[in-house]
Structure 1
Amino acid sequence: MKNTFINKIRLLLIGILLISLTLLTYNAWGMSTRLNYILNSPPLEGLREKQHQVRGVVTDSNGVPIPGVHVLISGTQTGTFTDNNGTYNISAHPTDVLIFSYVGFDIIEEAIDNRIEVNITLNESVTNLGAVTVNAGYYTVKEKERTGNISRVTAKDIELQPVANPLAAMQGRMPGVFIQQNTGVPGGNFSIQIRGRNSIASGNEPLYIVNGVPLNTDLITSSLGINIINRGSPLNGIDLSGVESIEVLKDADATAIYGSRGANGVVLITTKKGSIGKTRFGLDIQTGLGSVANKLDLLNSKQYVMMREEAFANDGIEPTVANARDLLLWDADSYTDWQEKLIGGTAYLTNLQGSISGGKEHTTFRIGGGLREETTVFPGDFKYQKASGHVQLNHFSEDRRFNATFSGNYVSEVNDLLNQDLTSFIFMPPVTPIPYTKDGNLNWGPEGGSFNNPFAILEKEYKVRTENLVSNLTLSYELTERLKVKIATGYSTANIREVQITPMASINPTQLAYSKPNANFNHHFTKSWIIEPQLEFKHRSGKSEFNILLGSSFQKNDTEGQSIYATDFSNDLLLENLDAAGTTLVSSRYNNYNYQAIFGRLNYNYNSKYILNVTGRRDGSSRFGPGKRFANFGAVGAAWVFSNEGLVKQGLPFLSFGKFRGSYGITGNDQIGDYQYLDSYSSALYTYQGTSGLYPTRLFNPLYSWETNKKLEAAIDLGFIRDRIRLSAAWFQNRSSNQLVAYPLPATTGFLSIQDNLNALVENTGLELELNTLNIDNDSFRWTTAANISFTKNTLLKYPNLENSAYAQVYEIGKSLSLMRKYHALGVNPQTGIYEFEDIDGDGMIKHPNDLQSLVELDPEFYGGIENTFSYKNLQFNILFQFVKQTGYNPLFLSGTAPGAMSNKPIEVLERWQQPGDITHIPQFTQSTSTEAYTAFRNSRSYGDNRFIDASFVRLKTISLSYLLSNGLLKNSKTSLYIQGQNLLTITGYKGFDPEYTTSLKLPPLKMFTMGVQIIF
Structure 2
Amino acid sequence: MKITTLAGLSCWCPITIALILLNWPVLTRAFPVFNPQQIISGKVTGTDGLPIPGVNILIKSTPIGTVSGPEGSYVIEARDSDTLVFSYMGFKTIELSVNSRTVIDVQLEEEVTALAGVEVNAGYYTVKEREMTGSISRISAADIDKQPVSNPLAAMQGRMPGVNIVQNTGVPGGDFKIEIRGRNSIRTDGNAPLYVIDGVPFTATSLTDSRVPGANIITHPLNGINPADIESIEVLKDADATAIYGSRGANGVVLITTRKGASGKVRVRVDLQSGIGEVGHKMKLMHTGPYLDMRREAFANDGVEPTTANAPDLLLWNTDRYTNWQDRLIGGTAYITGMQASVSGGGEQTVFRFGGGYRKETTVYPGNSGNRKISGSFNLNHHSADKKFTAGLVANYTADNNSLPVNDLTLAALRLPPNAPEVYDADGKLNWEGATWNNPYAELERKYRNKTDNLVVNTNLGLRLLPGLELKTGLGYTAMEVKELQTTPQSAFGPPTVQNRRSSSLNNSSIRTWIAEPRIAYELHMGKATLKALLGGTFQETTRTNHVLEATGFSSDALLENIRAASAIFVFASGETQYRYRAVFGRINYAWNNTYFLNLTARRDGSSRFGPGRQWADFGALGFAWIFSEEDFFSKAFPFVSYGKLRGSYGLTGNDQIGDYQFLDLWQTTFFPYQGSSGLTPVRPFNPDFGWETNKKLEMAMELGFVKNRVQITAAYYRNRSSDQLIGLPLPGITGFTSVQANLPATVENTGWELELNTTNMRGKNFSWTTALHLSFPRNRLIAYPGIENSAHAHVYTVGKPLELVRSYQFNGVDPETGVYRFEDVNNDGFISWPDDIRDLEPITTKFFGGLQNSLQFGNWQLDAFFQVVKQTGREPYGSFSPPGFLTNQPEEVANRWRNTGDVEAIQRATQTFGPAFFAYNNAVSSDYAITDASFIRLKNLAVSYRLPVKHGVGVRFYGQGQNLLTITGYQGLDPENPGTVALPPLRVFTAGVELTF
Partners of 1:964 and 1:428 lie apart in 2 by 49
Match of 2:990 in 1: 1009
Separation of aligned partners in 2, 1:372 and 1:648: 54
Gap runs ≥5 in structure 1: 1-53, 70-80, 91-98, 110-115
CA distance in structure 1 between the partners assigned to 2:759 and 2:344 by the alignment: 33
- Structure 2: distance between partners of 1:455 and 1:127: 64
Structure 2 counterpart of 1:799 = 785
**Conserved 8 A contact 1:66-1:85:** no
Deviations 1:550-599, CA, capped at 9 Å, x for gaps: 00000001111211110011111111111111100123021000001000
User: Which residue is equivalent to 2:339?
Assistant: 352
Could you say if the C-alpha distance between residues 976 and 82 of structure 1 is closer, same or farther in structure 2, counting changes exceeding 3 Å?
A: closer
User: Does structure 1 retain, via aligned residues, the 8 Å contact 2:111–2:708?
Assistant: no
2:570 corresponds to which residue? 585
Aligned ranges 1:208-607 → 2 under 5 Å: 208-218=195-205, 220-224=207-211, 226=213, 228-426=215-413, 427-446=415-434, 450-512=436-498, 516-586=501-571, 587-607=573-593
Tell me what 2:77 maps to. 85
Change (3 A) 1:615 1:900: same
Letter in 2 for 1:85: E
Range with bigger deviation, 987-996 or 856-865: 856-865
1:983 and 1:356 map into 2 onto residues whose CA distance is: 32
Match of 2:156 among 139, 163, 170: 170
Distance 1:64 1:714, change over 3 A: closer
8 Å CA contact 1:980–1:1009 kept in 2: the answer is yes
Q: Which amino acid aligns with 1:998?
A: P
Aligned match of 2:943: 960
Which one-letter code corresponds to 1:191 in the other structure?
A: K
Summarize deviations over 1:865-893 as a string: whole Å, max 9, x none. Answer: 10100001100000000011111111233
Distance 1:667 1:235 in 2: 24
Residue 900 of structure 1 aligns to a residue whose secondary structure is coil
Q: Which moved more, 1:197-206 or 1:58-67?
A: 58-67
What is the DSSP-based 3-state SS (H/G/I as helix, E as strand, rest coil) of the residue aligned with 1:534?
strand
Alignment partner of 1:197 is 2:190: no
Q: Does structure 1 retain, via aligned residues, the 8 Å contact 2:506–2:549? A: yes
Deviation at 1:63, TM superposition (A): 11
- The answer for the alignment partner of 1:939 in structure 2 is 923
Instruction: Show the 5 A alignment for 1:18-167.
Output: 56-57=41-42, 67=59, 84-85=76-77, 101-103=86-88, 128-167=114-153
- Residue 828 of structure 1 and its aligned partner are, at CA, apart by 1.4
Matched, 1:950 2:933: yes
The residue identity in structure 2 corresponding to 1:288 is: G
Q: Structure 1 residues 495 and 55 mapped into 2: Cα distance closer, same or farther (>3 Å)?
A: closer
- The offset of 1:859, in angstroms, is 2.0
Counterpart in 1 of 2:903?
A: 918
Contact 2:195 2:202 in 1 (8 A): yes
Corresponding residue for residue 33 of structure 1: none
**TM (normalized to structure 2)?**
0.90
Q: TM-score scaled to structure 1, two decimals? A: 0.89
Matches within 5 A, 1:833-852: 833-852=819-838
Matched, 1:653 2:639: yes
Change (3 A) 1:459 1:127: farther
Match of 2:799 in 1: 813
For residue 327 of structure 1, give the secondary structure of its aligned residue in structure 2. Answer: helix
Change (3 A) 1:856 1:151: same
1:989 counterpart (949, 956, 970): 970
- Call closer, same or farther: CA 1:226–1:181 in 2, change over 3 Å: farther
Tell me, in whole angstroms, the C-alpha distance in 1 between the residues paired with 2:301 and 2:346: 80
Q: Distance in 2 between matches of 1:381 and 1:343?
A: 13
How far 1:939 sits from its partner (Å)?
A: 1.1
Q: Is the 8 A contact 2:478 2:512 kept in 1?
A: yes
Cα distance in 1 between the residues matched to 2:936 and 2:112: 29
Contact 2:269 2:995 in 1 (8 A): yes
Tell whether the 8 Å contact from 2:110 to 2:708 is kept in structure 1 after alignment. no
- Change in 2 beyond 3 A, CA 1:575/1:62: farther
Q: Residue type of the partner of 1:380? A: G
Shift of residue 58, structure 1, vs aligned partner: 5.0
The 3-state SS of whatever aligns with 1:509 is coil
Residue of structure 2 in register with 1:21 after alignment: none
Q: Is there any run of 5+ residues in structure 2 with no aligned partner, and where?
A: 1-38, 45-51, 62-72, 95-101
Distance 1:561 1:762 in 2: 34
CA distance, structure 2, for counterparts of residue 622 and residue 877 of structure 1: 51
Alpha-carbon distance change, 125 to 867 in structure 1, aligned in 2, over 3 angstroms? farther
d(CA) in 2 for partners of 1:364, 1:123: 30
Cα distance, 1:542 vs structure 2 = 1.1
User: 2: distance between equivalents of 1:637 and 1:353?
Assistant: 41
679-688 vs 998-1007, greater mean Cα deviation: 679-688
CA contact (8 A) 2:750 2:778 kept: yes
* 3-state SS of 1:330 partner: coil
TM-superposed deviation, 1:153: 0.4
Matched residues in 2 for 1:125 and 1:179: separation?
Answer: 35
For 1:521-543, what per-residue CA distance to the aligned partner results, in whole angstroms no more than 9, with x for missing partners? 10012211000110101111111
Give per-residue Cα distances to partners, 1:926-972, cap 9 Å, x unaligned: 11122x2222112112x32112111110000000001101245xx31
Matched to 2:970, the amino acid is G
- For the pair 1:974 / 2:944, whether they are aligned, the reply is no
Does structure 1 conserve the Cα–Cα contact (< 8 Å) formed by 2:55 and 2:88? Answer: no
Q: Deviations over 1:663-706 (max 9, x none)?
A: 00000000000000111222234545543332222111111110
Judge conservation of contact 2:206–2:219 (CA < 8 Å) in 1: no
Deviation digits for residues 503-535 of structure 1 (CA, Å, limit 9, x no counterpart): 00001223455x711000100122110001101
2:700 to 714, 724, 727: 714
Q: Separation in 2 of the partners of 1:840 and 1:659?
A: 53
| Superposition CA RMSD, Å | 2.5
Contact 1:414 1:465 in 2 (8 A): yes
Counterpart-to-counterpart distance in 1, 2:566 and 2:112: 63
Of 452-461 and 998-1007, the range deviating more from structure 2:
998-1007
The residue that corresponds to 2:23 in the other structure is none
The Cα shift of 1:220 comes to 3.7
The 1:436–1:63 alpha-carbon spacing in structure 2 relative to 1, beyond 3 Å, is farther
1:445 partner SS: coil
1:218 aligned counterpart, secondary structure: coil
| Aligned-partner residue type, residue 261 of structure 2 | G
Q: How big is each residue's C-alpha offset from its partner over 1:448-507, in whole Å with a ceiling of 9 and x where there is no partner?
A: x52111100000010010011111101011111111110111011010100010000001
CA distance in 1, matches of 2:376, 2:56: 21
Distance in 2 of aligned mates of 1:855 and 1:541: 60
Verify the 8 A CA contact 2:114 2:643 in the aligned structure 1. no
Q: 1:820 to 1:777 in 2, by over 3 A?
A: same
Using the TM superposition, give the Cα deviation of residue 650 of structure 1 relative to its aligned residue in structure 2, in angstroms.
2.1
1:510 match: secondary structure: coil
Distance 1:386 1:685, change over 3 A: farther
Structure 1 residue 151: Cα displacement: 0.3
Summarize the Cα distance change of 1:476–1:292 in structure 2 as closer, same or farther, 3 Å threshold: same
| Separation of aligned partners in 2, 1:393 and 1:532 | 19
Shift of 1:743: 1.0
